[in-house]
Amino acid sequence: DQQVKQNSPSLSVQEGRISILNCDYTNSMFDYFLWYKKYPAEGPTFLISISSIKDKNEDGRFTVFLNKSAKHLSLHIVPSQPGDSAVYFCAASINTGTASKLTFGTGTRLQVTL
Amino acid sequence: SAVISQKPSRDICQRGTSLTIQCQVDSQVTMMFWYRQQPGQSLTLIATANQGSEATYESGFVIDKFPISRPNLTFSTLTVSNMSPEDSSIYLCSVDLAKGEDTQYFGPGTRLTVL
């Protein structure tokens, strides 16, 4: 049962353009969402997160949008840079008051071309 | 964030043997987690390691196969026991800094190949 889904396994974007990575979830109890970036041979690096009480969170070139009614979130990267080429994972958790486990999507490989 | 290291970074092991992976954090943390990423797959939580208590395992993972130690607030080990080729994966530890949100920070991972 894949509760967090990233339906696009790969995405190619030209340098300077916007990259939009999408994520859908099925569990309405999820109330905290995160995006991680992963380079080969490295662990995932935390990028940005959003609580379910918000619909947008921005940090520099990265913006995450949350649509609770559609159970959908997206990560926008503007402008895209070659160094952004990596696998991006979305993850979700249920806030229980203590540290909660993360449920990850299957990842989207972003390639930013020159 | 936190600085997290793992040893070994990679290993090639024979079927039937065991490997212990170490995870060291540069600050004291209550919760540590162990994940597995099989080839082409997502990250799957194996267990949560809380200092001073038994690890909590997720469905499909058992202590006999993946024993975990958590002797103090900066260190944990995961052992992959009686290995088979299906255990070939990247094993990752992560920590929650308990800042009121569920952000976890990951180590660099251990790439395990079982022949």
Model pLDDT for residues B50-87, shown as the tens digit of each residue: 887 889 999 999 999 999 999 999 999 999 999 999 99
Q: According to the model, what pLDDT value does residue A98 have?
A: 64
- Let me know: does A61 contact A75? Beta carbons within 8 Å: no
Given a cut of 70, whether residue B40 has pLDDT beyond it is yes
Q: Contacts for B77-80 with beta carbons within 8 Å, 24 or more apart?
A: B77/B20, B77/B21, B77/B22, B77/B23, B78/B20, B78/B21, B78/B23, B78/B34, B78/B46, B78/B47, B79/B18, B79/B19, B79/B20, B79/B21, B80/B18, B80/B19, B80/B21, B80/B112
What are the two backbone dihedrals, phi and then psi, of residue B86, each rounded to the nearest 5 degrees?
-65, -15
Give the B-side interface with A, CB within 8 Å. Answer: 1, 4, 30-31, 33, 41-45, 48, 58, 92, 94, 96, 98, 101-109, 111
pLDDT of A96 > 80? The answer is: no
What is the fold of A4-96+107-113? Answer: Immunoglobulin-like (2.60.40)
Question: Domain spans of chain B?
Answer: 11-95
Instruction: Give the amino acid at B85.
Output: P
Instruction: Return phi, psi of residue A111, to 5°.
Output: -120, 120
Q: Where are the domains of chain A?
A: 4-96+107-113
> What distance in Å separates residue A2's CA from the closest CA in chain B?
10
Which CATH number does the domain B11-95 belong to among 3.40.50.2300, 3.40.50.300, 1.10.1740.10, 2.60.40.10?
2.60.40.10
What pLDDT, in 10s, does the model give residues A2-30? 899 999 999 999 999 999 999 999 999 99
Residues of B in contact with A53 (CB under 8 A): none
The residue among B43, B17, B32, B23 whose CA lies nearest residue B113 is: B17
